[in-house]
Structure 1
Amino acid sequence: MKKSYSLLIPLLSLAFACQQNHDKEVQDLIETYRSELAPDKRVALWNIQFENDSLKGETDQIAGLGNFLAELNQQEIKYVNAVNQLPDESLGDNTKALVTISVANIRSNPKHSAELATQALMGTPLNVLKESDGWFLVQTPDGYLSWVDRAGIQLMSPEELEEWHVRPKVVYTKLTGHVWTNPAQEEMVSDVVAGDILTFEGENHNYLEVSLPDGRKGYIPSSESMLMENWLATRSTNPDQLISTAKQMLGVPYLWGGTSIKGVDCSGFTKTIYYLNGQVIPRDASQQVHEGEEVDTDKNWENLEVGDLLFFGEKATEDKKERVVHVGMWIGNNEFIHSRGRVRISSFDPNSPNFDEYELNRYLRTKRIINQKSDGVISVSELLNNE
């Protein structure tokens, strides 16, 4: 017995060492796939772990998961697949949604006290991934992943969303306003903000009859709205329209996570300017900086054009990567408009009353996204026509 026992110990040690190597091999492969499929966790999920011969976690990268499992099988690694594939099967057919309120607050975690991550306007289509106690993990058209309260959305099947897409639409164009129960404006159905999308139901003198994505009906003044096809036809990123849109928001308060007229952070402001002029750009400054063509890094302001995006932050050093923390839009005459405390105009001219030495000192680069091919920029037409 003693001899058998003495042989068992090294065998167990060898098995343990093999298991450790096995675990490391799988974990390394998980990390390789994560870096390829989901390098930015704000827009892609690859939360997978390997424990006790079991793959756990969740992902929305379904094709990538299939390739990953195939590679494990090819290497003859044994495992139990317990990875939850999103959208979660508990949603059934309700894997789509529309925002039903003027501005939906979308948060980093499923609770009202969580950080505001972004916002979405009424009529914005969403991909729905899973549910947690009345909150839904959704993906916005710019790819952002975050949580929205069920009270702010209408769940739909892909077929129901497609039916909504083909119905005639109205875009609200005034900065703020209301949907009324009748043209006499006796009772409010909902507030609305610029860019909100409603379904067109008919005309009543100087009012349009509309329906909200959750089926509520009401009226908005014709002068405060446009039929979708007319609105899209008049969207342009020409200098005059970009400046006009941006200046209409002067004084709007800074709001971390805000992307609407109710409040904007720096990248939410540039995103809103471009959205109201027909372009959907990424959510955050650190994402926007990767789009378009670089036109300046040396403060040569003569190279800039209206609509160019200026990025600010910390320059790269031997120990740290560049850190982009702020963005604004160039409006010409050595000036740019941005949201810091409130939407404001700043200047790089030392003789200007709006001279902004603080931003000048942390200037990094300028990118041009107008008329540039860029994977992260799509037209509002593509978004709303489900192309």
Structure 2
Amino acid sequence: MHKKRLFLFLCLLNAAVVVAQPAKPVIDAVRKQYAPDARVAIFRIETDSVGALKGKTNLPAAKQALTAQLQREGIAFQDQIEVLPATVLGEQTYAVVNVSVANLRSQPRDAAELATQALLGMPLQIWDKERGWYLAQTPDQYIAWVDFGGIQRMTKAEYDRWQQADKIIFTRPFGFCYSEPTEQSQTVSDLVAGDMLVLEKEAKQFYQVRYPDGRTGYVSKKEAQRHDRWVASLRPSEETLVSTAKTMMGIPYLWGGTSVKGMDCSGFTKTVYLLNGITLPRDASQQVHTGELIPTPNKEFSQLKPGDLLFFGEPATPEKPERVVHVGMWIGNNEFIHASGKIRISSMIPGATNFDEFELNRFLRAKRMLVKH
């Protein structure tokens, strides 16, 4: 009797495997086509032992392509895929960052890896919720989890009003918003470069501002500008990129950081360009696919200009693909500035006091983001 039951169990197990296997190649093919980079798209679909398609995606077209292909191939399935945004969110599928720097994590828990950061006033698309955490997508398309305290959720109408309102941008590396138009008053919050708030009124020495959650306060005009005027004044150049980068010297390295409170290598280059009005992708392995390739034959850097990005890592081999793991910015004089331990300047010249042999050895290529047409 025992052997008979075991035989029956094995038969059922084999049958389950047979059911589950046909759909997997189709799922993988659709994922590769529609969501090859899980950092910027959600396609978490699996099939279980009875052929049910389970999981979540924020790509309706990917789900449609998957089910259509399974039907064409005659593969039976049950559609249990949830298309995001999740229904639990109701109409509040948008949000705006409500603190000076919001930490976005790889998983919905405090102990999870810091994936990236988002600055005060930054608009977010909200896709899902788990306990007090929200799955958010930043303007550069990066997707990660933010806790409820870092954002103000909004409906589309509320979000549109925030987007259309006049704003100020904080331009100093670090400072404060005050409860009264004097720096001797209580602080409302800290502020960092790139933070944005709604402009309520403009006085002689202060802007009266409003936070996404309705708090109000005052920001010194010495430390901020009207956003529209700031945008109009932007003239990104080799000189402004280097100048911006050098204002961050000594800021500590922080994995996942993109603010003056701490930065990783790509967070640093991203922030330098952001403060010059240019949006770069989040990670070095994404930034390397943008811009114009600049020749560096035999690691010879004479064609580089200040502001060019240098990428480092492991070259491709027959056994494994290329790995881009670090990025820095050229500043001229055979030097580059990067986040490694802290924001610092390194040289490519042997014998220089700041020569960085490690980075020279793993240099891959250089790209120009400041391309003039």
TM class, shorter-length: over 0.9
Deviation of residue 18 (structure 1)?
8.3
How far apart, CA to CA, are the structure 2 residues paired with 1:359 and 1:20? 48
Structure 2 counterpart of 1:172, one-letter code: F
Structure 2 counterpart of 1:157, one-letter code: T
Q: Say if 2:296 and 2:303, in contact at 8 Å, map to a contact too.
A: no
Matches within 5 A, 1:231-246: 231-246=230-245
Deviation of residue 45 (structure 1)?
1.4
* Partner of residue 93 from structure 1, selected from 91, 94, 97: 91
Deviation string for 1:99-136 (max 9, x for gaps)? 00000011111111111110000011111011111010
How far apart, CA to CA, are the structure 1 residues paired with 2:85 and 2:156? 12
TM-score (normalised: structure 1) = 0.90
Deviation string for 1:6-51 (max 9, x for gaps)? xxx9xx98x9988755533311100000111111111111111112
Matches within 5 A, 1:257-276: 257-276=256-275
Give SS of 2:68's match: helix
**The 10-residue stretch of structure 1 (170-179 or 66-75) with the greater mean CA deviation from structure 2:** 66-75
Q: Which runs of 5+ in 1 are unaligned?
A: 1-8, 374-387
How far apart, CA to CA, are the structure 2 residues paired with 1:125 and 1:102? 13
* Partner of residue 177 from structure 2, selected from 179, 182, 196: 179
- Residue 33 (structure 2) aligns with: 36
Deviation of residue 314 (structure 1)?
1.2
Matches within 5 A, 1:254-293: 254-293=253-292
Percent identity of equivalent pairs: 48
Tell me how large the CA RMSD over aligned residues is: 1.9
Give SS of 2:24's match: helix
* Partner of residue 23 from structure 2, selected from 9, 17, 26: 26
Distance 1:372 1:28, change over 3 A: farther
Q: Say if 1:177 and 1:192, in contact at 8 Å, map to a contact too.
A: yes
* Partner of residue 131 from structure 1, selected from 129, 132, 143: 129
Matches within 5 A, 1:197-212: 197-212=196-211
- Residue 3 (structure 1) aligns with: none
Q: Which runs of 5+ in 2 are unaligned?
A: 1-6
How far apart, CA to CA, are the structure 2 residues paired with 1:18 and 1:250? 62
Deviation of residue 337 (structure 1)?
0.4
Structure 2 counterpart of 1:206, one-letter code: Q
Give SS of 1:34's match: helix
Q: Say if 1:297 and 1:364, in contact at 8 Å, map to a contact too.
A: no
How far apart, CA to CA, are the structure 1 residues paired with 2:350 and 2:180? 54
**The 10-residue stretch of structure 1 (204-213 or 73-82) with the greater mean CA deviation from structure 2:** 73-82
Q: Say if 2:19 and 2:51, in contact at 8 Å, map to a contact too.
A: no
Are 1:46 and 2:39 matched, yes or no? no
Q: Say if 1:293 and 1:372, in contact at 8 Å, map to a contact too.
A: no
Deviation of residue 300 (structure 1)?
2.1
Deviation of residue 233 (structure 1)?
1.2
Q: Say if 1:235 and 1:276, in contact at 8 Å, map to a contact too.
A: no
Q: Say if 2:30 and 2:65, in contact at 8 Å, map to a contact too.
A: no
Aligned length: 362
Distance 1:61 1:187, change over 3 A: same
How far apart, CA to CA, are the structure 2 residues paired with 1:363 and 1:339? 15
Q: Say if 2:22 and 2:75, in contact at 8 Å, map to a contact too.
A: no
TM-score (normalised: structure 2) = 0.93
Deviation of residue 235 (structure 1)?
2.1
- Residue 329 (structure 1) aligns with: 329
How far apart, CA to CA, are the structure 2 residues paired with 1:110 and 1:16? 34
How far apart, CA to CA, are the structure 1 residues paired with 2:266 and 2:295? 19
Deviation of residue 226 (structure 1)?
0.6
How far apart, CA to CA, are the structure 2 residues paired with 1:141 and 1:320? 32
Q: Say if 1:97 and 1:156, in contact at 8 Å, map to a contact too.
A: yes
How far apart, CA to CA, are the structure 2 residues paired with 1:313 and 1:252? 23
Deviation string for 1:334-359 (max 9, x for gaps)? 11100000000111122322111111
Deviation of residue 264 (structure 1)?
0.4
Deviation string for 1:81-104 (max 9, x for gaps)? 111111101101111100000000
- Residue 151 (structure 1) aligns with: 149
- Residue 376 (structure 1) aligns with: none
Are 1:342 and 2:336 matched, yes or no? no
Q: Say if 1:348 and 1:356, in contact at 8 Å, map to a contact too.
A: yes
Are 1:112 and 2:90 matched, yes or no? no
Q: Say if 1:249 and 1:261, in contact at 8 Å, map to a contact too.
A: yes
How far apart, CA to CA, are the structure 2 residues paired with 1:20 and 1:191? 56
- Residue 214 (structure 2) aligns with: 215
How far apart, CA to CA, are the structure 2 residues paired with 1:339 and 1:184? 35
Deviation of residue 204 (structure 1)?
2.4
Structure 2 counterpart of 1:368, one-letter code: R
